[in-house]
Amino acid sequence: MNQEKDQVLVAHLAKQGIDDKMVNGHPAGLFVLFFTEMWERFSYYGMRALLTLFLISTIADGGWEWSNERAMKLYGLYTGFVYLTPLIGGMIADKLTGFKKAILIGALIMTLGHLSMAFEAVNSGFFFLGLLLMILGNGMFKPNISSMVGNLYPDKSAKKDAGYTIFYMGINAGSFLGMLLCGYIGEKIGWHYGFGLAGVFMFFGMLQFYFGQKIFGIIGDTPKALQAHHDEKVKNNEEVDEIIPRNVVRDRLIVVTIFMLASIVFFLSFEQAGGSMSIFAKDYTQRVLSGDSAVAFKWIDTILTIAPIIIVTIVLIALARKIYKQYPLTILFTAISFGIIWGLGLWKVFREIGITGSEVGASWFQILNAFFIISLASSFSKFWEKIWNPSGPVKFAMGLILVGIGFAALAYGANDIPQGAKTASVSMIWLVIAYFFHSAGELCLSPVGLSYVSKLSPKKFLGLLFGCWFCASAIANFIGGFLGSYIDKITAEHSMSYFFMIFAIVPAVTALLLIVFNPILKKMMHGIN
C-alpha cells in the first residue's frame, strides 16, 4: 500500500517537472523549503524573543523602560500585523509574481528590516522602521512558502500531513535556534546584537532558496507560466486537474473557515508565550540558581543547545547527499550558516560553564516550545501516517485540549502568588510543563491546519487562502496581545491563577464543540481526510 502511494507521489512530481529524488520518503524539495523557512523563523522568533523584554527592561540595562501594558499592546500589534499582511502577499503571488518570486522579495525586505533594528541604539526610528519592514516582508514570504509545500503532494496523499509536520519541524528548528542565540546574545551582550544576528540568517535563507529554486519545477512559477503549462497539457491531451463541483468547493471552504476560527482560539492562548508568559518568567519565576541546581541547569542547557543543532545537521547531510551535485550553492550557503550556528552554540555553552552560579534568562523558556516540537515532530508524523490518523476536527480538538492543560498547569503553579503581587519566585517547573503541553497541542493543530488548507482549497486561490489562514493568526495575536495587556489589572483584581485559567477554559469549550460537530464536518470535506 505504501509503495502504491509512493508511486502516486512520484507521478504527481513528474507532472510538475520535478525530480523524484526522495529524502526519508519525501520529495527533496520539501527539505529545501524546510531550511528556507527555518532561517526565516530564526529571524522572526529571535527578534520576537527580545521584543517584550527589550521594551520593559530599564534604561540602565539598555531597554526602553515601558510599562507591561504598553509593551504588550505593541507586541500584539506587531505580531498581529505580521500575520495580517500574508493576506495581501498571497493575493500578489496568485495574481502577479508566483510563489518563488514572492518568497525572495519577502526574504530581502525582512533582511533589511533586521538590519534597521540593529541600529536601534543610534536612533529609535530605526527600531520602528525595522518592525514595519519585517511586517511587509513576512506578508510576501509566509503564505507562499506554505503553499509550495502543499503543491509537492497530491491532495489525497497520506504523506501530506506528514510532510507538513516535517516542514513544521524546520519552522521550529529555526525558532528554537533564533530564541536561544538571539535571546541569549540580546539579554547578555546587547539588544542590538541580538536584533542584528537575526538578519544574518534571513540573508542565508534567501540565498539557499534562490540557488535551489529549480528543484521545484513549475511549482511557484508566475500565473502566466502556469497557465501556459496547463494549456500545453490540454493541447497534448494529457491528464489535467479534475474540475470540482461548486457545492463541494463551498462545503470545503466552510470547513476551512471553521478550522480558522478554531485556530484563532488556539493561538490567542498559545501566543501568550512572547507576552504574558515572558512577563511571568521575568517577574514571577525563580531564575537565580546556585550550587548543584546551577550545575544541573548548565548541563540541561548544554544538551538543549547542542542536540537540536545535531538533529538538523543530520537532516542537512541527508539533503546534501541527494542534491549537492545539482544545487551546490544551496548546500554551500546552508553549510556556512550551520558553521556559524555551531560556533555560536559552542561559544554560548563554554561561556555559561565558566560563570559561577547561573541566572536563567527570561527569554530562555521560549526555546522549550521549539525544542519539544523538534523532539516530537518525527513521532507525530509517523503516528499520523502509520498508527492513527483521525479527522481534522478531532486533531484540532486535541490541540485545543492540550493548550488548555498547559495553562491549567500554569494556573495551578501560580496559585500561591498573592493578589496584586508585582514579583514572586514560582518554580520553573510550571513553565516547563506548560510549554510541553502547548507544543504537543501545536503539533496536533498547526501543521495539520496548513495541510488541510492546502487539501481543501481551490488551487488557483491557494496563496489567498493561506493568507486568510495567517490572517486568523493575526486576529489571534491582536486579541491575545490585548488580553495579555490586562495581566496587571486582572492580577490586582483577582489573581495570576485566575488570569491563566481564562486561557485554559476557552480552548477546552471550543474543543468540545469540534468533537460534537465532527461527523457533519467530515461529511462536508467530501472525501478529504
pLDDT tens digit sequence for 213-223 = 999 999 999 98
pLDDT at 465: 87
**Which pTM does this prediction carry?**
0.80
pLDDT at 275: 78
Cα separation, 289 vs 432, in Å, equals 16
In the block, residue with C-alpha cell 483521525: 390
Give the residue from 18, 453, 451, 456 showing the smallest Cα distance to 229.
18
pLDDT at 521: 96
- 387: cell is 498508527
Q: Which residues of the chain have pLDDT under 70?
A: 1-5, 158, 230, 233-242
Contact call for residues 326 and 212 (beta carbons, < 8 A): no
Cα separation, 173 vs 179, in Å, equals 10
- Quick check: helix, strand or coil at residue 120? coil
Is residue 240 exposed (0-12), middle (13-18) or buried (19+ Cβ within 10 Å)?
A: exposed
Strands 22-23 and 26-27: antiparallel
Scanning 152-290, the segments in alpha helix (DSSP H) are: 159-188, 191-210, 223-235, 246-270, 276-284
The count of other CB atoms within 10 Å of the CB of residue 446 is 23
Beta bridge partners of 23: 26
Contact call for residues 250 and 459 (beta carbons, < 8 A): no
CA distances (Å), 358 to each of 57, 189, 201, 423, in order? 19, 16, 28, 19
Q: Which amino acid is at 323?
A: I
Strands 22-23 and 358-359: unpaired
Cα separation, 407 vs 411, in Å, equals 6
Strands (E), 328-485: 358-359
pLDDT at 3: 44
pLDDT at 37: 92
Give the residue from 308, 310, 311, 315 showing the smallest Cα distance to 331.
315
pLDDT at 236: 65
Total residues found in the chain within this entry = 529
Contact call for residues 156 and 23 (beta carbons, < 8 A): no
Give the residue from 1, 14, 153 showing the smallest Cα distance to 528.
153
